[in-house]
Amino acid sequence: MRSLCIKVRKGKGESVRKKLLEDGLLDQSLYVDKDGDFLYLPITSVPGGHIVEERDFRGREKEERDYKALCEVPDALRDLLPTSFDTLGDIAIVRLPDELLPYAENVGKAMMEAFPRLRSVFMDHGVAGELRVRDLEVIAGVDDSSTVHTEYGLRFKVDPRKAYFNPRLSNERNRIVQLVRDGETVVDMFSGVGPFAIMIAKHARPAQVFAIDLNAEAVQLMQENIRLNKVSNVVPLEGDARQWVFDLPCADRVIMNLPHSAKDFFADALTRLNLGGVMHFYHICEKDEFQSVLDELVQQARGMCVELRVVRSEELKTYSPSASVFSADLLLVGWL
């Protein structure tokens, strides 16, 4: 089918695609097309700042339409079928409301039929514990949650039952990559299977990226991902970040992606940050509370005789009806 489209270089394809999606301009009924180093993103209307051309695209409306239509559930429950779900490589992870639990296998089967690229569908029972591993129940396909996920041209071996990975953070990771200056020392305190660390090492020019995780399985996957993506300056470290940071050189950038308890590591991380360095701080709280959390961090820093400035903060995603995941970039300005 013929459509207007935007031509972008492959390296930029993911961020442009997500922006078009957010702005409601991506034509989701058509497949993105590839040719050499370029991607062609079909659009429903013309956004500003892009050169637009016309091209033939393959339709995907059959897949989109089929999943709900194929699913055997009572008509009264059909509206409860989830419209979105996460895909990691060739597996899908879906959350179901209680009413649909007796029909979970039907949902899985319909998704497998409608999206032939899927190898398995898992029902998500949430993330738990210090290691943030996901409780998954297979509802269709093989009961194996390990897969290879592609993000910004990088390949990550992941297994959400063994180690945390969130595909929805890809834009945030890319945002941080753009901030890294040549020669920086970066410490990723809670690195999981290494997506922040490896993306920084691959797409920026840091001196070194130290990537710590308490979960031995996460570190093992990270080591595989370092090899898979052929990066040489990521140093994977297994253990407690609170202890490791004192054995490492001071950092120009510290990433603290442990949103439930990064606050508990704040003081230790701050003592290991160079003047002029930046801390990327992630936190889950009630939607109207993040500003006071940031004020507290700035005060806590004052108590340590340093000036910390919030240079950017953002609500990243909704966590529950009243709470969200937030991110903030905190600059260590200097001594008081």
What's the Rg (C-alpha) of the chain?
A: 21
> Between residue 121 and residue 140, which ones bind ligand SAM under the rule CB under 6 A?
130-132
Amino acid identity, position 46: V
Site for ligand SAM in 145-204 (CB under 6 A): 163-166, 169, 190-192, 195-196
Minimum CB–partner distance for residue 56 and ligand SAM (Å)? 37
Q: In the complex with ligand SAM, which residue's Cβ is closer, 122 or 265? A: 265
Nearer to ligand SAM, 5 or 189 (CB): 189
**8 Å CB contact between 222 and 194:** yes
Nearer to ligand SAM, 74 or 153 (CB): 153
Phi, psi angles (nearest 5°) of residue 158: -135, 155
**Cβ–Cβ under 8 Å, residues 284 and 260:** yes
Written as six digits, the tokens of 296 are 């507290």
- On whether the CB atoms of residues 89 and 142 are closer than 8 A, the answer is no
CA distances from 109 to 62, 64, 87, 136, 200 (A): 16, 15, 16, 16, 38
Q: Are 89 and 157 in contact (CB under 8 A)?
A: no
Q: How far is the CB of 219 from ligand SAM (least distance, A)?
A: 9
Where does this chain touch ligand SAM (CB under 6 A) — which range of 5-13, 53-61, 100-108, 210-218?
A: 210-218
Identify residues 232-291 at the interface with ligand SAM (CB under 6 A). Answer: 240-242, 257-258
Report d(CA 314, CA 282) in Å as an integer: 10
The residue written with tokens 């429903």 in the block is 44
CB 175 to ligand SAM: min, Å = 13
How many of the other CB atoms lie within 10 Å of CB of 146? 14
Least gap, CB of 48 to ligand SAM (angstroms): 32
Give min distance, CB of 289 to ligand SAM, in A.
20
Based on CB atoms, which residue is closest to ligand SAM, 7 or 260? 260
Q: How far is the CB of 236 from ligand SAM (least distance, A)?
A: 12
Asked whether position 213 contacts ligand SAM by CB under 6 A, the answer is: yes
Q: Could you list the residues that contact ligand SAM (CB under 6 A)?
A: 130-132, 163-166, 169, 190-192, 195-196, 212-215, 218, 240-242, 257-258
